[in-house]
Structures are given as C-alpha cells and as structure tokens.
Amino acid sequence: MKRVLYFIACILITLNIVPARAFAIDDDGKIDLYEVFSNKEDMLKSEVGSQVYKWSMYLPDDGIIYKSDNANFFYMSTASYQSEILLEVSKNEERLSLEDMLYKLENSSRKDNYPVWGDRELYVDIVSDNSGQRYIKIIKTNTFYDYYTVEGSGNEFSDYVENRIYIENDYIYNLSVLMTGDFYKSHEDMFDKLINSFKPSYDNNTYIKELSDRVSTKREYINSIYGWKISLNPYWRAQGIENGRNQNFRALYTDEELSNEVKAENIDNSVIQEGISVSLISSADIGESAKEWAALEIERLKDNYDSNVYKILKYNRENRRNMDAWRVTVTFNTMTNNSYVKDNLYIIGNGYKYLVSATIKEDKYKDSAKKSNIETMLESFELDSNYLSKYLGRIASSESFYNFDSVKELRTKKYDFATQITKAFDVSKGGSEYETGGTNDEDKVSAYEPISHIKIDMTAGFYGNEIKNTVLNYTGKYSIDGDIAAGLAHVKIKSAEVKGAVIYKIQKEYDINAVKALSGPAFNKVHNLESLLNEYIYIIKAGNDTFIQSVTIPAANGTGKNKDRIQKLQSDITIRGINYNTDEWTEHEISGF
C-alpha cells in the first residue's frame, strides 16, 4: 500500500493533478471496473481507453480501475502483473514538442521543491516505437524504500518504473508503469506487454472498454432533499456533493474536446466558468412574488454595475407549473472581447425561493444550437414537493432580521479612527493591532461589501515623518503605472489644512471607454474590468499620528451611486470624535511629487 501511495503522490505532485473521485467501492475497498461500469459482455474486453482523449491500452483480467469522470486521469493496478499504471492527459496549450518537454523536465529537475519524492533516473531519451511513434522514454527506480532501509539495501527492493511522454492529437500523454523490482527481473516480457500496449489513439474496436462518458441521451437529476429536478444534456454532470442546497452542473468536455474545434487564440476563457447552478436561497415570505424578487435584483444590478458593462436581454414572467417564475437574462462584458450571458430564473414555490442560473459565453449564446442546449435544461427545471425532505424546515435569510441599508460605525480600536458604513459591509479585521518595528505601531480595521465589491481599509498609527512621505508611497507607483501612462486611468490629487491637520485626497479611476477602445477588434486584448481597481485614498496627518482610509472598487462596479457612497465614506471620517471634512481643496499634478 505504501508503494501505491508513493506512486500516485509522486506523479500528482509533479503534474499538479487533482485526484478524481472513484465511481464505486466494493466491501474490500477495491474499485472494480466491471461491477461499476459494465454489463456481462464487457467481461470480454481486453483493452481500455477514451474516445474523447484518444488513447487505449491493454486491460488485464484483474485490472482494478480508478479514473476521473472524463477519463483524462487514469490509474490501474493488477496483481497478476504486480504493476500499477498511471496516465494523465492534458491539453498541449503551449504547442510543445517532445524536445520542448524534455527541456522543461530538465529545468524542473533543477528545482529543489520536492526533496523527499526524488527519482533515480537510469535512462532518458527521445525514441521511436516500431510504428514510428516518437516519445520521451525515462527509466527510473523507486527511491521510496531508501528512506526505510539501511544504506544501499533499498536498491534490492526498488520497483522498476518506466515513464513515457507522448505528444499527439494536441494532447500531452504522461504514462508511468511501475512493476515490483523482484518480479520484473524474471518477467520483463510482461512489463513490455503492458507498456507497449499504450497507444495515443482509439480505433473503436469491440474489445476496448470505453471509459469516457458517452451517454448520448438526456438524464434526469432529482434533488430529493430540496424538492426539484432538472433534465441534463449528454455529457453534463453534477459537481460536488449530491442533493446539495447549492448544486452546480458542468459539461464534462469542452466543445474542442468533443468536436476537435480549434480554440480561439488570445482569449482567456479560464475565468468564465460556464454551467448551470440551482440554489435554494431561503424560505419565501407570505405574499412574496418572483416579480418583486427579480425587480430587486435588477435594481441592485443597475446600482452596482456600470451601464457600459451589461445589457438586459430579457425581463419577463415564465409560465411554469406549480411555481411563480420570473426570468432575467443579462449580457456582461466585464471582460473585454470575452463577454458572457447570465440567464437567471427567480422561482418561488414549495414555500421557498430558488435561483436557477446559467452562465454561457456570448459567442455560444449567439449560436442557436448551443444556446438551445442551455435553454432546454433551464426549461426542464421543475419543483416537485414529493422530493422535499421531511426534515427540511425554515431557511432564514439575514435580510429577514435587519435592514442592510441601516448604518453602523467602522472604527479602529486604539486610535478612534472611524467612518459610517451600512450593515451590508462585513467587518473582517475589527481593531487588530500589531507592531511594525520601532514606535510605528498600526491600528487597523477592514470591511467589505459583497454586492458592490467595495473594500475599505482604515489604518492609524504613530508616524513622525511629513505627510508628503506617505503621499509619495502612492504617487511614486502611479508615476510609473502603465495604465495611467496609456490614458486608461486618471489620477487626481488634492490637499487641504483643517483644524491643524493636513489632508490629502488621492484618486485613481479607470476610464471604461478608453479601456474598451484599447481592447477593440484592432487590438484584440482582454481586460478584466472586475480586476482593474479604482482607488480612493484619504490621508490625514494630525500631530505625529497618520490616518489613512483606503477604498477600492472594481472599475466594472464604479457606478455614480457607488462613487457617491465612497465620497461619503471620506466625508464621514472622524478622529477621536472630530470631523475634518472640508470643501476647500488645492489641486496638485502628479509630476509635482
């Protein structure tokens, strides 16, 4: 067992693979391919593989299988061969050649990141098999035993390991086969049979057991706790735990994997997680309607997203059996040249509020066939009280207990540096104190509002230097800021003297139209307006103490209403009960610092 754990752990650490869940486990803890996937006819299968990822290899009669849902991670052990096989398939995103891959391996071996999981390599080369298929061949021994045996004796027990790396079909296939050392010495032919059976291809013969999810019909998913069901398209699966209050569904394979489409260049798709989610939000109040709920969400959208980054496509009632439903569909272009669509159903039924939300990239939404795939799943959603758990009771929302618009105080503990915020803010670092060396102690408190993404940091401390030294911390980085130099963001600096204190206001704001212009078709650049941050810094120097309020908000959320709220955060500042607000400011150029 220790050898098995080593074999898997070593490869996982090297390749950064996330272990996938097993399909079923017998009483003895083994995962049996045939009992899990197969019918009686599959007992005759002599090969295993994936049609989607285009690979196949020999399947011993006693092979025990562990695989990811989409079969790009595969582990098999076989007692008759005293061997373990591990395969990881990944997209060749960087268009690497075998020579490139070998160079990467050499570079990674120079890093002393994993001192315990070292390998003893005996052979490394790029070779060809009898069919002319080229691959990287690495022969090594398992050094795991060296840590449990006396010096030198580990070699007598070492497992024999051969690692092969193929690059084919726009994929990288990383295959490792391990055989017990003593068994290998008298059964080299069996080892060769195993490893030479691997092919980076899939020929559809009747003897291959397909591991990919090839279900070509829709499947109904029933949530038997929260009382709903939905029809899933082929290749779609539930993610995470079954019967969850928040249930996510994703396609196992990308369009490129299923149809060999060529992925568009220069588009970062990783941050847009496509799929469908179903959530039971809370219990519904008596008389509450889906229309009112949807209208509130539209109001929040307008308050918290710049009008340049979204467009409302649909806002209408849905005729659904046994439920009050309202549909809101919005296109978001918070990522330039990579817009996406949120298609939401606000549903009240069974005494609860449900949100069914689909996320799809805009180019797919404009494709009638791909759009239809998502819409048919949304339209299949139903509530069914027969599937409500008898233990399911009231699910209270915090909104039922207090008004998020009511005011509370954000205050540092030691220096009495405060402002007024609403209860919608989550205070995360109330009054924390720490030493920064010498007498420059700091007193901090932070707050964050999820709906607007406004983040506030309030810092106070003893700092004897002039206020301009503090201002330079900000103006210095702005003077070399590429976005400011390109005209994508603008800086304003103001100062004033109030009641013996010196105050500086520093503001950096992005121009969304300028960002979009630079990202247009002629440039084809991707800028994430939810990552570009507007910054509002308010610095007060009173005696030897310095007080800084730093507020940030993503450019996408920089609406007029949110900017007014940020200005109020500054004007409401008090220090030991004294307000230093003023309307008399002197403007400065950044070049003056």
Express each pLDDT in 24-63 by its tens digit: 333 344 344 444 444 555 556 789 999 899 999 999 989 9
> What does the pLDDT read at residue 304?
98
> What does the pLDDT read at residue 112?
52
pLDDT one-digit tens code per residue, 371-424:
999 999 999 999 999 999 999 999 999 888 888 899 999 999 899 999 999 999
User: CA-to-CA distance for 242 and 248, rounded, in angstroms?
Assistant: 10
User: CA-to-CA distance for 282 and 285, rounded, in angstroms?
Assistant: 9
> What does the pLDDT read at residue 119?
60
Domains of the chain: 2-210 (3.40.1000.10), 219-388 (3.40.1000.10), 407-592 (3.40.1000.10)
Share of the chain above pLDDT 90, in %: 65
User: CA-to-CA distance for 530 and 556, rounded, in angstroms?
Assistant: 5
CB 294 within 8 A of CB 300: no
CB 141 within 8 A of CB 159: yes
> What does the pLDDT read at residue 222?
97
* Lowest pLDDT segment from 114-123, 516-525, 571-580: 114-123
The stretch 553-572 carries a mean pLDDT of 98
DSSP string, 364-420: HHTSHHHHHHHHHHHHT-EEEEEEE-TT------GGGTS-TTSEEEEE-TTT-EEEE
Residue type at position 390: K
Pairing of strands 47-50, 208-210: parallel
Confidence category of residue 70, pLDDT binned at 50, 70, 90: confident
Confidence category of residue 428, pLDDT binned at 50, 70, 90: confident
CB 380 within 8 A of CB 304: no
With CA atoms as reference, report the closest residue to 355 among 428, 282, 407, 289: 282
Output DSSP code: residue 335.
Answer: B
* Helix pair 560-571, 290-304: axis angle to 10 deg: 70
CB 530 within 8 A of CB 556: yes
pLDDT one-digit tens code per residue, 147-164:
444 444 445 557 899 999
> What does the pLDDT read at residue 106?
83
> Given a cut of 60, is residue 146 above it in pLDDT?
no
What stretches of 411-502 show up as alpha helix (H) in DSSP?
Answer: 467-478, 482-485
> What does the pLDDT read at residue 184?
92
pLDDT one-digit tens code per residue, 234-260:
889 898 889 999 999 999 888 778 775
Tokens of 203: 């020929």
> What does the pLDDT read at residue 126?
96
> Given a cut of 90, is residue 293 above it in pLDDT?
yes
Confidence category of residue 117, pLDDT binned at 50, 70, 90: very low
Helix (H, G, I), strand (E, B) or coil at 476: helix
